[in-house]
Amino acid sequence: MTGRSTDANKAFTLDTDRVAVFDLDGTLVDSVDGIAVAINRLLRAKKALPLQREEASALLGHGLDAFAKAACESRGVTLTDDELWRFHHDYLSNPLIGTKLYPRVPATLSLLAQKGWRLAVCTNKSEAPAIAILNGLAIFDYFDVICCGDTVEQQKPHPGHLSETLQRGGFRHLPAVMIGDHAVDVAAASASGMASVFAGWGYGHTEPAFRPSAVASSFEDLPGILESLIPARSRSLA
């Protein structure tokens, strides 16, 4: 899905030559509380103990299906197809509940766009909740393309997910950086020959086999880090 509207472009440089690709959960937004509410309703119905926030956070990164299955496995209960559907329906009914932007996200996205970065989202989350969150938190228009887990054949860590994101945005010819909080983001970037920035404020952790190009401790650190990875070429303002 494409994002940025004409109005959102007015103050931005137009001769852009580099791309910043963002993960969603744990990178742009803190959504674990809302996801945990939905899975804990399911677990209580199965007479199982609910997940604590830290437990739920550790299971994120591979999409909602994988999260629900891992949550049930952690409590020693079996997840049926019908229960998985009900979990999805419960969460999708209002994915904005328990979801908030990390500090300085809009201001930093605006700064990156003004500095000539094209912005994209590559997430294993399904499209319906991803779009609802981006719209509901008023950052949808910053992004040229949003490529979600249920619109591609292979999700991160497969490099095909990143390639498809760049293809849909018309960015295959531009240098790009992947920003994410999970090993799947770093692995996808590595397999694509792309630089990566690990989002240290998120849920995940790095793995020895996949080293990020850089680590950021806060969202507002990104402009300087990204500039060091792909320096700007001279450009004129429209």
At 61, the pLDDT band (50, 70, 90 cuts) reads confident
Q: What is the pLDDT of residue 4?
A: 56
Fold of the domain built from segment(s) 7-30+100-229: Rossmann fold (3.40.50)
Q: What is the pLDDT of residue 3?
A: 61
* Domain definitions of the chain by residue range: 7-30+100-229, 32-92
- Residue 175's closest CA among 116, 235, 234, 110? 116
- Active site includes 7? no
Q: Which residues contact 183 (CB under 8 A, 6 or more apart)?
A: 61, 157, 204, 205, 206, 207, 210
Q: How much is the pTM?
A: 0.87
CATH 1.10.150.240 fits 32-92, yes or no: yes
Catalytic residue selected from 7, 23, 33, 65: 23
- Residue 116's closest CA among 229, 14, 6? 14
Q: Where are the alpha helices (DSSP H) in the chain?
A: 32-45, 53-59, 64-74, 81-92, 105-114, 127-136, 159-169, 183-191, 222-229
pLDDT per position as a tens digit, 162-207: 999 999 999 999 999 999 999 999 999 999 999 999 999 999 877 7
Is the pLDDT reported for residue 11 higher than 50?
no
